[in-house]
Structure 1
Amino acid sequence: MPKCLYTRAQGSAVPDAIPLLICDDSGMARKQLMRAMPRGWPFRITQADNGQAGLEAIRAGLGEIVLLDLTMPELDGFEVLRRMREERLQAQVIVISGDVQEEAIRRALELGARSFIRKPADAGQLEQALLALGVHAPTIDPSLPAAELDLPSVGFRDAFREVANIAMGRAAELLARVLGVFIKLPVPNVNILEVAELHMALADAQGNRQVSAICQGYIGSGIAGEALLIFHDSQISDVARLLKHQSGNSSPLELQLDLAAIVIGACLNGICEQLDLQLSSGHPMVLGQHCTIEELIRVNRNRWKRTLAVEISYALEDHDIKFDLLLLFTEASVQVLQRKTALLIN
């Protein structure tokens, strides 16, 4: 059962507090939500770091109100909503997610969510969503101290993963509009890897299939790196068919370059907005065509060495299409990113 965290006023638990559950796999996201909660409102807060734990907390009566993420391990937010409806659980749900595709919002509301807020949650929007549920704002004496909350401890990887998660969602929203499909989103992987470890991570994702890769470099604000978009060769023609209605007679390679510019540009812009960075990007270029991951790594191993790697796998619903985005930051960039994310953490 998730640990129960109590909102306190003047050192004493609120006697008739409303059970409120924050269900999100990111400690960073939970910390941001707890800080955004209206001051002094009568909530008893429980945290769950995956959908299964969140569902168990709701069954146990720890979430009359639920702040629910969509992209989570174990059970995603859509599945939590489905099971709540099947079991007729009466919690009122506010979805707070980085997946901002129109279809994601429509599905969440259709499954019973009362409202949808984009990450990172705005305190004013959160307050209005709570008021819409019928929660009454208490009269607060401004001389009283702020509520004491047991905020999650957040490290760099957790914080940067949440930044990448929000950026990933913005890229998916744009991609969904361009392709006219729903994009299934993963939990991003964030790791500092040696080139051999990067090789293994890519090999696990791609297997022995032939791939083509588009690369786009970026630099600025003390940060440098490369974004890598990897396509399975067997799926390129399927992607081309989805884009044909907008691209005329463009070649498959031109379509890959266009798609890379959309996905990489949206992801980098999302990261820059959150961390107050300014990055300049080069033009997308072909890094490898019709090759194996082993060949791709062998040719480029001197460029990557030790790197902060963000891995995001986009999958298109109802299509056998999946491509992987890797954001590779140089080792020297990590210190800058740590300073920037520390501003969000603290």
Structure 2
Amino acid sequence: MDDAIPLLVCDDSSMARKQLIRSLPANWPFRITQAENGLLGLEAIRQNEGRIVLLDLTMPELNGFDVLARIRDEGLQADVIVISGDVQQEAIRRAKALGARSFLRKPVDPLELEAALLALGMGLPPAPLQPENITSHCLPSVSFRDAFRELANISMGRAAELLARVLNVFICLPVPNVNILEVSELQMALADAQGNQQVSAICQGYIGGGIAGEALLIFHDSKISDVAGLLNSQLNATPHLELLLDLAAIITGACLNGLSEQLDIQLSLGHPLVLGQHCTIEELIRLNRPRWKRTLAVEISYALENHDIQFDLILLFTEDSIPKLQQKIELLI
């Protein structure tokens, strides 16, 4: 179509791209291009394939903040609507300061998306499209792993928003890792992330709707005093263990609540347990090996900007939970 509007959907998640394309107003004449990371998205904008850009923030290769900065620095013509699971107030402020026209939360509300598109000032299209919808040709296929990674991404962002308010810092978010692992593979993954540093770990079980598992939160011992400083507390006034339990309640609770809402289930959390203090990952796994067998593991690392502090949250779903999770995700897809 000669009057088609070039629209770019830039998100590393095929599930997110599919949801966004489905949420577009049906009577707008879009010519849709998709990009799986920021570098590809930037190249598409340079090729005039993104007069309007729906942009994620947390992506590999080049994140959304960097894409916005390069659009500005290169003087590219693109109206950007950021649609992200990172809903920290500072993330919203930074995105708009870099030129984003709007900021919407994932999963996007179709009415909010239409309002953001109208706010770009292009006006409504003159006539609806023919019955054959252009989006039917470009919906990506979505695997279970990619879909679950997107759910974890949104939940991760909600937990980060709460943690950022408590600690008064900006939380740098990664792309979550989702894998089905044997316990030996889990040990290698954790050891690779933690090295030989001493760590302490808090575990909290959860169950509900045919789904069960454990949330494992790992802290580097050397950073606990730094965290106490951010909380304006002293280690001699706030015991090491009490501080860890407070942080675990914030991070684990918010992340699991986000998953519960998206999957439309009610997860009940058990009491937090100390799996190990001042030990290496090797020792932690050896002590708790009987707890974990083959598992669906979601790995999330929270890093605090301008602080050498990192928390690692790992959600371990039982193998028996996977069929139920697949059913729930099929409904979302």
Aligning the two structures, in what range does the TM-score lie when normalised by the shorter sequence? over 0.9
Show the counterpart of 1:69: 56
**Which of 138-147 and 26-35 deviates more?**
138-147
Q: Select the residue among 111, 126, 145 that pairs with 2:98.
A: 111
Residue type of the partner of 2:227?
Answer: V
Q: What is the CA distance between 1:145 and its match in structure 2?
A: 4.3
Residue type of the partner of 1:113?
Answer: A
In the superposition, the TM-score normalised over structure 2's length comes to 0.97
| Match status 1:131 vs 2:118 | yes
Show the counterpart of 2:281: 293
**Separation in 2, partners of 1:44, 1:206:** 45
1:41-78 Cα deviation digits (max 9, x unpaired): 11100000000100111111110110000000000000
Show the counterpart of 1:278: 266
Q: Select the residue among 235, 243, 246 that pairs with 1:258.
A: 246
**Separation in 2, partners of 1:252, 1:290:** 11
CA 1:86/1:231 → structure 2, altered by over 3 Å: closer, same or farther? same
| Match status 1:236 vs 2:220 | no
**Which of 246-255 and 69-78 deviates more?**
246-255
Q: Percent identity?
A: 74
Show the counterpart of 2:167: 179
Show the counterpart of 1:197: 185
Q: What is the CA distance between 1:141 and its match in structure 2?
A: 5.5
1:267-298 Cα deviation digits (max 9, x unpaired): 00000000101111012121100001000111
In the alignment, structure 1 segments of 5+ residues that lack a partner are 1-13
In the alignment, structure 2 segments of 5+ residues that lack a partner are none
**Separation in 1, partners of 2:129, 2:235:** 59
**Aligned counterparts, 1:70-85, within 5 A:** 70-85=57-72
Do the aligned partners of 2:32 and 2:138 also contact (CA within 8 Å) in 1?
no
CA 1:61/1:139 → structure 2, altered by over 3 Å: closer, same or farther? closer
CA 1:111/1:144 → structure 2, altered by over 3 Å: closer, same or farther? same
Q: Select the residue among 313, 324, 327 that pairs with 2:312.
A: 324
Do the aligned partners of 1:243 and 1:255 also contact (CA within 8 Å) in 2?
no
Q: Select the residue among 94, 103, 114 that pairs with 2:81.
A: 94
**Separation in 2, partners of 1:246, 1:131:** 51
**Aligned counterparts, 1:10-21, within 5 A:** 14-21=1-8
Residue type of the partner of 1:107?
Answer: R
Show the counterpart of 1:42: 29
**Separation in 2, partners of 1:140, 1:191:** 46
Q: What is the CA distance between 1:249 and its match in structure 2?
A: 2.7
Give SS of 1:75's match.
coil
Give SS of 2:329's match.
helix
Q: What is the CA distance between 1:248 and its match in structure 2?
A: 9.9
**Separation in 2, partners of 1:173, 1:311:** 18
Do the aligned partners of 2:26 and 2:129 also contact (CA within 8 Å) in 1?
no
Q: Aligned residue pairs: how many?
A: 332
